[in-house]
Amino acid sequence: MKSLQVNLPGREYRIDIGLNILEQLLPEVVRNNAVDQLVVVTNTTLQELYPEHISQILQNSEVKVSTCVLADGEGYKNLETLSKIYDFLLKVSANRKTLLLAFGGGVIGDMAGFAAATFMRGMPFIQIPTTLLADVDSSVGGKTAVNHPLGKNTIGAFKQPEYVCIELSFLKTLTSRELKAGFIELLKHGFIHDADLFESIQGKSLEPLDFVFLEEAIFRSCGIKGKVVEQDETETGIRATLNFGHTLGHLIETHAGYGKYLHGEAVGAGMCFAAFVSWRWQKLAEKDWQRIRVYLGQILTPLKLPPLSQEKFRDLILHDKKAQKQAVNFVLLKKLGESFIQQETSVDKLWDEFCEFSASYPEFIELELI
């Protein structure tokens, strides 16, 4: 097992990573949190795969446990589903001392976290991530949100968990597609902040699962994210580098329809585009761009998108049909392992690059430009 600590003023928390650790650690953590009641937020898929798993682990604890089971999928990450969590919390008479436990992937973590940030003006919550993507990224850092039809994650709050337990055995039931999508966010941390992490991933295949490799890679990934979050919790500066690949990634998710492509798949294409732009704008050396392109080309399959116009591209990036400004902060690479934020990047210039990118590399994105 490996552990690390995220140190935010007054809100430090521990992250434990390992195989078969949850059963021992969770009861201890719950005991130390002095709560009278615990509410598990999960979805139908996890409830089927691991029925009442958390309740069983806590059966000998004093705490009363109830489980709120939501529909599964990115398409349900919205205000309507969020209000089902509030309904459930009210039904079981939850209060500010009730502990909320997110048991699922990034969708469950983001929604349960937002509920924890807002119910009764805030209640404690812990994250038990069950996807590789949630292990390496979404369970750490305290960003919580739901989607709006006009934009991904547009309604949310910063809410740090009390504790994160990354139990690796849950990865055994993930599909290859989900594993790969999580691997993309792991790669992202290598691209933007840690060239050694990228090198250590080279030549590794995800399946069969290698838990020694995964424990180390997740530890490094959480370490990178944790350090960035410690410096800039609410994203006024360096934290924005974690959005590498996400400008186009979020556009793809919204434009294709939430749930059509996995978050990691969309971000993978977005990272390739951002690396392409970095090279075209002479920030990134050609050899680094080619390495990234070839590597991502081996992992990703083409995303097929509905026709896209320049106006729609702009609206989706700016999340606002009447936006006055025409620019975004866009994350570029300087080299493998080093990124920076290009403030006020013209959306029209990004569109020109997008036209070039999609015409040149249909192995990443197939679409008709209108």
Ligand X SMILES: NC(=O)c1ccc[n+]([C@@H]2O[C@H](COP(=O)([O-])OP(=O)(O)OC[C@H]3O[C@@H](n4cnc5c(N)ncnc54)[C@H](O)[C@@H]3O)[C@@H](O)[C@H]2O)c1
Q: What residues are annotated to the active site?
A: 121, 143, 185, 225, 235, 239, 243, 246, 250, 263
Pair 113, 159: CB distance under 8 Å? yes
Minimum CB distance to ligand X, residue 281 (Å): 26
* Segment interacting with ligand X (CB under 6 A) among 126-134, 191-199, 210-218, 337-345: 126-134
For residues 21 and 15, give the distance between their C-alpha atoms in angstroms, rounded to a whole number: 12
- Shortest CB 241 distance to ligand X, Å: 13
Closer to ligand X at the Cβ: 31 or 177? 177
CA distance 51 to 233: 35
135 binds ligand X (CB under 6 A): no
Q: Is 181 in the site for ligand X (CB under 6 A)?
A: yes
Bond prior to 208 in cis (omega within 30° of 0) = yes
Please identify the residue of the shown chain whose CB is closest to the bound ligand X.
106
Residue 74 touches ligand X, criterion: CB under 6 A: yes
Question: Does an H or E element contain 83, and which?
Answer: helix 79-91
CB of 81 to ligand X, least distance (A): 12
Task: Answer yes or no: are the C-beta atoms of 146 and 79 closer than 8 Å.
Answer: yes
Pick one of 53, 65, 104, 191: the residue that binds ligand X (CB under 6 A). 104
Burial bucket for residue 370 (CB in 10 Å: 0-12, 13-18, 19+): exposed
Q: What share of the chain is helix, strand, coil (3-state, %, to 5)?
A: 50, 20, 30
Judged by CB under 6 A, the chain residues 8 through 47 that form the site for ligand X are: 43, 45-46
Q: What are phi and psi of 336, to 5 degrees?
A: -60, 120
Give yes or no for residue 67 binding ligand X (CB under 6 A). no
Could you list the residues that contact ligand X (CB under 6 A)? 43, 45-46, 49, 72, 74, 77, 104-108, 110, 130-131, 133-134, 137-138, 141, 143, 153, 170, 173-174, 178, 181, 185, 262-264
